[in-house]
Amino acid sequence: MSADPALSVDHLAKTFDGLRAVDDLCLSVRRGEIYGFLGPNGAGKTTTIKIILGLMFQDAGAVRIGGRDLAKDPHEIKRRIGFLPEHIAFYNNLTALETLQFYAELKGAVDEPLLDHLEAVGLRPFADEKVGTFSKGMVQLLGIAQTLIGDPELLILDEPTTGLDPNWARTVKDRIQAANERGATVFFSSHILGQVQELADRVGIVDRGKLIAEDTVENLGRRLDLKPRLRLTVEESLGAATRAVSNVEGVVSVESSGAELVVLCDRAAKARVLGRLEAMGISVRDFRTEEPGLEEVFIKLTGARRSVR
Amino acid sequence: MSPAPRLARRSVWAVAKKEFMDNVRSRWIVGLSGLFLALTLVVSYFGAAQTQGRTGFTGLGDTVAGMVSIAAILVPILGLMLGYAAIVGEREQGSLLLLLAMPVTRLEVVLGKFLGLGSVLVVAVLAGLGVSGGIIAVLAGAEGLGAYLAFVGGTIVFALAFVGLALLLSTVAKRRSTAIGLAVLTWFLVAVIFDTVLFGLFIATGGTFDFLAGTVDFPWWVYAFQIAIPPDAFGYFALTVFGLERTFGFRVILPGFVSPGITLLSLTVWTVVPLLAAIWRFRRQDL
């Protein structure tokens, strides 16, 4: 039993209207890890998650949760899962506490201190207010609180921090990490590379319904050798600046983009680039670093430039 | 296909309770139930005019014809309004995904919603018919009480049929607005159009209807079709339970096969079949 992965997906396929949303997808989530399911919008992440939870039905392939088939014992298996859907919604006439009570009743966890779950996401003061009056961010936080009911072994979170302001996104990340430290396995989807790098132990990258890479975040970072982009605004002509930095050690490419100089370089070369410009008497008015995005990952993995949202 | 998982009563109960609490507070439902109560009170005062030619609270049997005509219109509206959005509303809003990811099966969700919404209707029917019945029983005597209780029971089955139908519409429709349209269409078909078409057929096949003679005497097939449709089945159930021969001033000669049993059977079929169809539709739907 404990040798089985927390979640495994084997050769899963799903087609709608002639479009292959999920195409022979295989992945495996180990017990106790945080697994980031990374891919652009429309890559098949939500469809995969819906199939895992029995909300959609696959054309082919199998899903096993802790080695077991959800359809065989849905009550027992779903009792151990916490789920956050991508677009979460509750019942507008129920208060925050009544909402949690309803789910706790379904999970057979009525004795749980539900106010603590509201406290954990900062919604304790709104316990007796109707969910219909909540902002979008508060609804998302209530969504996180709801995943804590029944101390689940497996958390399945679809884009948990998308659309949240940085403070609330922090709260969500903290809750995910805290649940993981208590022993929960976490499977979450995201279309933002930075979020996955920050939270996940391992990452699976999905594109057009297929898994194109699966590795630890560390290995993947090394394998892909993703470099940040330095964007500089300089006083003098871009041509002179381009010539000045192009032979700095660690610089991969220099391009001009409008009034900006865009330098792709190793992390360690950033200071050398700025130093060279200063030595050449070119004053830098402004600069910022752009962390590598999903787009770079796809270029590295597939060799093709492809626009991702 | 894996074997069907066991039915967890706790899950059905949790869904039913939530559905009841959510809808019993709805202004629409409270308003319609209040209207139902007010109208039954009015007809129980004036209703005897149709059978006895005088007003006042005269007796349970005298009032039934009026109550039937009110319930036959209002109860389907209540049932359809309660149930049309039960599934598709949650689907459109997004709460259905989370609900179904809980330890609950789709069968339990549909059953729970049926029981929860059905309970709201039972409360509305008991309030509407119970209060009026109580007043009549106190002022005019409890003669016919047994028949009246059976009538209340029949009204509840009649109401549940429309919850079942509404749940079916709610699983067929992909959008809430489609479900509203289907509910309105269902009400028109069942409460208005069917009887009109049937009467048209009766006239077209050489039937005659003499308002002045004061006697209703349709051929057997007209009654057979009427029994097959909920509002008429409900009406004949009430008439036969009380053994009435007059309604709205007309003498009604019913054929022998029109009985409380067969009309109640028709209402039960109208409850169970749409409910089963809703469960079947919902079971393998991609959400």
Nearest Cα to B50, choosing from B64, B40, B70? B64
Q: A83 at the B interface (CB within 8 A)?
A: yes
pLDDT at residue A29 in the model = 95
Residue A125 belongs to a domain: yes
Question: Interface pTM (ipTM) of the complex?
Answer: 0.83
A-proximal residues of B, 85-104, CB under 8 Å: 93-95, 97-98, 100-104
A102 neighbors B14 (Cβ within 8 angstroms): yes
The alpha carbon of A158 is separated from its chain's Cα centroid by a whole number of angstroms, namely: 8
> Which residues have a Cβ under 8 Å from the Cβ of B242 and sit 6 or more positions away?
B60, B61, B64, B144, B147, B151
| A263/A251 Cα distance (integer angstroms) | 7
Q: Where are the alpha helices (DSSP H) in B141-229?
A: 145-172, 176-187, 194-204, 220-227
Q: Which one-letter amino acid corresponds to residue B78?
A: L
- Same structural domain, A111 and A152: yes
pLDDT at residue B143 in the model = 73
- Give the residue-averaged pLDDT of B47-68: 63
B59: confidence class by pLDDT, cuts 50, 70, 90: low
pLDDT one-digit tens code per residue, A220-238: 877 777 777 888 888 777 8
pLDDT one-digit tens code per residue, A246-286: 888 888 888 887 778 888 888 788 888 888 888 888 888 88
- Same structural domain, A132 and A238: no
Lowest mean pLDDT among A137-151, A202-216, B48-62, B208-222: B48-62
- Res A1 pLDDT > 50: no
Structure token digits, residue B48: 């005897």
The answer to whether B18 contacts A94, with C-beta atoms less than 8 Å apart, is yes
Q: Give A294 to chain B, closest Cα distance, Å.
A: 28
B257: confidence class by pLDDT, cuts 50, 70, 90: confident
A83: left (phi over 0), alpha (psi -120 to 50) or beta: beta
- Same structural domain, A139 and A19: yes
- Same structural domain, A122 and A250: no
- Same structural domain, A103 and A136: yes
Q: For residue B15, which residues of chain A lie inside 8 Å, CB to CB?
A: 106
pLDDT one-digit tens code per residue, A163-186: 788 888 888 899 999 999 999 999
B147: confidence class by pLDDT, cuts 50, 70, 90: confident
Q: For residue A146, which residues of chain B lie inside 8 Å, CB to CB?
A: 98
- Same structural domain, A86 and A125: yes
What is the tally of structural domains in chain A? 2
Structural domain that includes position A151: 7-215
Q: What is the CATH number of the domain that holds A77?
A: 3.40.50.300
Q: Which residue has the higher pLDDT, B260 or A81?
A: A81
Q: Please give the C-alpha separations between residue B27 and each of A192, B105, B133, in angstroms, as whole numbers.
A: 44, 30, 25
